[in-house]
Chain A
Amino acid sequence: MSFDQNAFIIILTGSMIAISCGLLGAFLMLRKMAMTGDAISHAVLPGIVIAFLISGSRHGLTMVIGAGLVGLIATACIEYLTQKVKLQSDASIGITFTSLFAIGIILITFLANQIDLDQDCVLYGEIAYVPIDLWITKAGTIMGPRTTYLAVINLVLAIAFVSLFYKELKLSTFDPEFAATIGLSTAGVNYGLMGMVSYTTVSSFEAVGAILVVALLVVPPATAFLWTKNLKKLLTVTAILGVLISFLGYYLAYLLNSSIAGAMASVAGVFFFVSVTLNRHQIPRIKSKMRRLREEMA
C-alpha cells in the first residue's frame, strides 16, 4: 500500500483525539464517574448549538467556551440533584443528560436552515472530511487541516493538565479524604477534570460525534485497567490503545465503507471484549485465593 496522505492525517487526528480522551477518561473511570463522562458528552450539545448561533462558525473560542460552560453546568446540575434535591445519583445523571440532549436536538431542528450542523454530525462526526476542511489564513496560505490543529492543541492541553496536576489527580482519586486533610481542593480538582472533559468533548465533537466520544473516554482505560494496576502504566497502555484503535478503525471503515468514528468504537470494543475474555478469571481466581488463605488460617 502506498503512502496515503489523507489516511495519514485522519489516523493522526484520530490518534490524538483518542489519546486526549483516554488520558482524561482514565481518571473518570477510576473516580467511578464514567457515566458522568457519558452525560457530559451528551449535554454539551445545546452549548455547541448556542455558541454556533452566536459566533456563526463551528470553530473558535466561542464554541469551546459555550460548550465547556454547558458541560460544567451539567456537572453542577448532577451534583445539585444528588446532594441538595436528594435524588439517587443514577437518576440525576439520566435526567440531566437526556433533558439537555433533547434541548440540543430541538435547537438543531429549529435552526436547521440557519446553521450548518445536522443530526448526523452530532451522531458520528465527520472525521473523513478532516483533510478537506483546511485552515486558510487571510493572506491565502493554506496551513493544513483545521481539525488536526484543534486536536494538537487539545492533546497538548490534556497532557499538560494530567502531568501538571498528576499528584493532585492521583491523590484525590484514590484517597479523597486524605487529599482534603492536607488541604487539597477536591472540588477544584473535580471541576478542573470535568472542565477538561467538556473541552475535549467539544473539540473532538466534530471529528467523532457526541456519543462516540464516550467510547474513546471510557473503553481504552477500561481495557487497560484489565491488564495493569499501576497508574502510570495504565495511562501508557491507554495511549497506545488510542493509537491502535484509530489506526485499525480507519482501515475497518475503509473496508466496510462506513463511519470511521463508529469503526473506531467497534475496534475499541474488540480490544475490550478480548481483554475481558482473557482476564475473566480475575475475580474467581481472587476468590479461590482468599478461600485458600482462610483455610490456611483456620
Chain B
Amino acid sequence: MEDFLYFFSFQDPNVLMVVIGISLLSISAAMVGTFTFLDKKALVGDAISHAVLPGVCLAFMFSGNKNPYWIVSGAFFTGALSTYVISWVARYTKLKEDTVIASVLSIFFGVGIVLMTQLQQTGNASLSGLDHFIFGNAISIVREDLWVYGALATCIIVVLLVFYKEFKVMVFNRSFAESIGLPVKRLDFVFNSLMVLAVVTGIQAIGVVLMAALLITPAAAAKFWTDRLSRLLFLAVLFSLISGISGAYISFSLPHMPTGPWVVVVLSIIAFLSFFFSTKKGILTRWVSRRKYQSKIHRDHILKALYQAEEHDKKGLPQKDIVDNFPGKVVKTHRTLRQLKKKGYITNDRELVALTSTGNSEAKRIVRLHRLWELYMTEYMNIAPDHVHESAEKFEHIITPELERQLDKSLNFPKEDPHQSIIPRDQNKP
C-alpha cells in the first residue's frame, strides 16, 4: 500500500518520468498496432521487434555505451531492413509469407544473439544494461532516454493523426485508395516506418521479445467492443495505457521484475476478458443469445404442434404426446411448457395441453409465417412445393412483422399455401 501511494502520488520525479515514458509508448504502440491489426500484418510487428536486436548491439559496438541516439538509430536501421527483406523475399520467391516472416525473424535474432554474446565476452561494464533490451525494464529509463523515446512516440502519434484519413482508407480498401489517387506506395513506406519506430520506442521498457504484444493485443481486445475505427483506437489506447502503467508499477514494487512480461500479462488478461465477456461479440454473449434463440425455436415448435392439433379438431394434446414428439429433449420440453403456461399461452389441465386465446394468436402467427414463406418460395423462386418446407422451418422464427407485411402484400394477401392449407389470420386484424 505504501508502495502504491508512493508510486501513484508521483512524489519521486523518476517515477513520474517512467510513467510518462511508458504511457507515451503504450499510446503510440496501440495506435500503430490498431492499423497493423486491421491490415492483418500483426506478425510483421513480431518480426520487426526481434529484428531490432542486432541493431541495438551494433549501436553498442560503435558508441561503446548506452547512448539512446545510437541505439534508436541502430534499432531503426535493422528493423526497417527486416521489413524490406521480408517483402523482397516474399515478392521474388514462392515461399509463403508466414515462412518468410519466421525465417527473417529467427535469422535476425540469431545474428543479434551472436553480436550480444560477443559484446558480453568483451566485458565492458556499461554493457550490463544490454539485457534490459531483451525483456525490458522501464525503471532503468533515465531523463535522456525519456527525451528520445518520448519525442519519438509523440512523433508517431502526431503523424498517425495527421494521416488518419489516408491510413483509414488504405487499411479498409486498398484499391479504392489507389483509385482516388492516394500515393499508396509512399503511404505504405510512411506506415512501415511508423511501425518500426513504434517497436523501437518500446525496446527499453518492454523488450524486443514481447514488444509484438503491445502492437497486437490492444487492438485485438478492442475489436470485441466496437467496429468504429475511432472508438477502436480509443479503446486500444486505453487498454494499453492501463497495462503499461500497471506493468511499470509491478516491476517497481517487486525488485528484479522485468517490466515487459508484466505489461503483456495484464494486457493479455484484458484481452481474454474481452474475448469472453464483451457485451458485443464475446463468447459468453454469443452463447447466451444462441441459447435464447434455440429455446425460442423450441417454443415455436410446441405452439405450432398445438395449433395443428386444433386444425384437426382436437381440443389439445396430451402432455405425453408433446414430450414424445421431441425425443431427446424431455427436460427442455417440460421447461418450455412451464414457461408457456406462466405466460398464459397454454392451459395445462390434467395432462391435456391446450392453447389459450393469446397462445392461439401467437401460434397462428408462426404457422402463418411458415405458410407465407412456403408460398413466397413457390411463387417467386419457382421452387417445387415439396421442397419448400425445410426452408420455411428456419424462416418462421426470424421473419419480422415488417417483413411479414411485405410478404403479405407482394403475395396479395393469400388464403392458402402451396399445400392447400389455410393461412391462418386473426379475425380482428385486416
Give me the interface of A with B, judged by CB distance under 8 Å: 29, 32-35, 37-38, 42, 81, 84-88, 90-91, 93-95, 98-99, 101-103, 105-106, 109, 112, 119-120, 123-124, 209, 211-212, 214-215, 217-219, 222, 225-226, 252-253, 256-259, 261-266, 268-269, 272-273, 276, 279-284
Contact = CB atoms under 8 A, between A and B. Distances in A.
A85 B99 contact: no
Given A211-B209, A226-B95, 11 more contacts: A38-B102, A119-B135, A123-B134, A124-B113, A209-B113, A219-B103, A264-B110, A266-B110, A269-B107, A280-B92, A281-B92
Given A91-B42, A95-B268, A102-B213, A218 B106 contact: yes
B114 A262 contact: yes
Contact of B109 (A34, A106, A212): A212
Interface in B290-343: none
Interface string B96-107: 101111110111
5 contacts: A32-B99, A99-B217, A102-B213, A106-B262, A265-B110
Range class of the B interface residue count: 35 or more
B268 A214 contact: no
Contact of A91 (B50, B110, B135, B216): B216
Interface string B112-132: 111111100100000000010
B257 interface: yes
Main secondary structure of the interface of A (DSSP, over half): helix
Interface of B: 37, 40-43, 45-46, 50, 88-89, 91-96, 98-103, 105-118, 121, 131, 134-135, 209-210, 212-213, 216-217, 219-220, 223, 256-258, 260-262, 264-265, 268, 271, 275, 281, 283
B43 A222 contact: no
A195 B45 CA distance: 27
A214 B50 CA distance: 12
A284 B91 CA distance: 9
B98 A34 contact: yes
A38 B260 CA distance: 19
Contacts of B106: 38, 211-212, 214-215, 218-219, 265, 268
A42 B46 CA distance: 12
Contact of A102 (B107, B261, B281): B261
B213 A106 contact: no
B420 to A, nearest CB: 43
Contact of B110 (A93, A269, A276): A269
Given A212-B110, A265-B110, A266-B107, A282 B94 contact: yes
Contact of B256 (A109, A261, A282): A109
Contacts of A95: 213, 216-217, 220, 268, 271
Nearest to A112: B256
B111 A276 contact: no
Contacts of A93: 43
Contacts of A38: 46, 102, 105-106
Contact of A261 (B98, B110, B115): B110
Given A38-B105, A90-B40, A99-B213, A258 B118 contact: yes
A214 B105 CA distance: 9
Contact of B212 (A94, A257, A262, A269): A94
Contacts of B281: 86
Given A105-B135, A218-B103, A98 B113 contact: no
Contacts of A261: 110, 113
Contacts of B115: 258
